Amino acid sequence: MRRNPITTSYIDENSGVSVALRIAITAEPIPSHVSALDYVIRPALEQGHHITLHAPVMFRREARRRGVEFHGAGTNWTCDPLVQQTASEIWTGLGKARFNRYVFGDLWPEQAEAKARDLLSAWTRARPDLVIAECSDLGAHLAAKVLGLPLLAADNGLGPVLLDLWDTDIAPALLPLYKQYEQDTPVLPRMVTPAPVEWFYPVPPPSARSVRRTVAEFRTVLPGWLDRSPSSSRPLVYVSFGTLTTAMTGLGTVVGSAYREIMAALSAIDCDAIVSAGSLAEHLPSTGPRIKVVEHVPQPALLRHADLFVTHGGRASLLDAVQGTTPVLVMGVLADQPHNAAAFARRGLGRALDLAATRAEIADAITAVLGTPQYAAAMRTADAELSRLPSLDLMDVCRKAGWPPSTGRRSP
């Protein structure tokens, strides 16, 4: 195949036909996870392929914003109050390790059957050429295997957690469902990840491949109300603990306390601050005229203007920081986040603090990062490393999986 520079589709060398793949992309109901998949969605669109997002209905608007077709699959199970309450109680009472085992070893396998059933129905009616599923979308993995579809897992940040729990918790929980569909033992598919593999994997899996990271174009535009005075000499600190932690009642209480400690620390520092707190925003009164509390902002755009990012340490947020060359203060909450915090601190990209840190400890850490140019220099180096990664070529993925078939399709 060779790239057509005008249409951005592909030309089959044998037939001369312009080819567009039908690509099914799947997501699970975590609020930020469609954004976490933009590094596969945007290249697929730019390469002229037809994309359908198969996801719970909570993501219908996200599909529309990206200009892709939407097909409902699975349920909004993370929005269930009982699920949120149970997960929060486990996290607060038994710690992060037991929380991970419950969420990824119990909840996710339990939800796989409904997702697989919906996808089997949809993909039997309209068979895609390639499935790109979140690495944690266990139902999509099964459906693709049953139908013999080429499958690529997109690392959404949870890859290291899944690998850690796969043999002990996840695969055993999935085995009865796989037997129901007469399939072999569950195996985590080969993955692409939008960062150098060694950044987040202590022992890099042989199947993971690093590709260049992109974000949706609308997330790169800074709203007018965020423009600062050109004469302002104060550093800008951006604070966000993501979407999931603020949406879960029990976790929200703990995270709300962390926000308050951070804002109290910021009020004693000569800086401007924007605090993005999702549903908690209405319960967080500003502690000073230089601190603005909002529900949401286009994070990648804002981080290109910020001097420090105080974050929960989700994979996508940390990579937004790298691409904005913004040093971080990471206060990991759950899943992969504490590990990510330690990894970035070791690389000199910022500092890590416990979620229960006091305002005095937070103020000291903020002041230290803002006053140390080496953190920003390390971020610039990391951004250069990120930008050198190869772009994701979907035709190459399909060729390695045995596509195209003997007869291609003309690009629409």
pLDDT band of residue 1 (cuts 50, 70, 90) is very low
pLDDT band of residue 7 (cuts 50, 70, 90) is very low
User: Are residue 67 and residue 174 in the same domain, yes or no?
Assistant: yes
User: Are residue 142 and residue 242 in the same domain, yes or no?
Assistant: no
Give me 264's structure tokens. 């109290």
Within a domain: 263: yes
Range of weakest confidence among 35-49, 178-192, 271-285: 271-285
Phi, psi values for residue 266, rounded to 5°: -65, -35
More confident position, 373 or 91: 373
Total count of domains within the chain: 2
User: Are residue 159 and residue 270 in the same domain, yes or no?
Assistant: no
Within a domain: 411: no
User: Are residue 245 and residue 190 in the same domain, yes or no?
Assistant: no
Cβ(336)–Cβ(158) below 8 Å: yes
322 vs 176: CA distance, rounded Å? 42
CATH code for the domain of 24: 3.40.50.2000
27 vs 297: CA distance, rounded Å? 22
Report CA-CA distances (Å) from 2 to 8, 226, 263: 10, 43, 53
Within a domain: 412: no
- Length of the chain (residues): 412
Within a domain: 405: no
pLDDT of residue 30: 85
Highest mean pLDDT (candidates 214-228, 279-293, 299-313): 299-313
Within a domain: 59: yes
The answer, yes or no, to whether residue 13 has pLDDT greater than 80, is no
DSSP states of 327-368 as a string? -EEE---STTHHHHHHHHHHTTSEEE--TT--HHHHHHHHHH
Largest CA-CA distance found in the chain, in angstroms, rounded:
68
User: Are residue 195 and residue 289 in the same domain, yes or no?
Assistant: no
248: domain range?
222-387
User: Are residue 283 and residue 374 in the same domain, yes or no?
Assistant: yes
pLDDT band of residue 402 (cuts 50, 70, 90) is low
| Site of tokens 């037939």 | 15
pLDDT band of residue 90 (cuts 50, 70, 90) is confident
pLDDT of residue 333: 81
The answer, yes or no, to whether residue 17 has pLDDT greater than 60, is no
User: Are residue 331 and residue 396 in the same domain, yes or no?
Assistant: no
Average pLDDT over every residue of 172-201:
93
User: Are residue 107 and residue 231 in the same domain, yes or no?
Assistant: no
Phi, psi values for residue 386, rounded to 5°: -65, -40
What is the enclosing helix (H) or strand (E) of 259? Answer: helix 249-267
pLDDT band of residue 128 (cuts 50, 70, 90) is very high
Within a domain: 253: yes
More confident position, 316 or 254: 316
More confident position, 323 or 333: 323
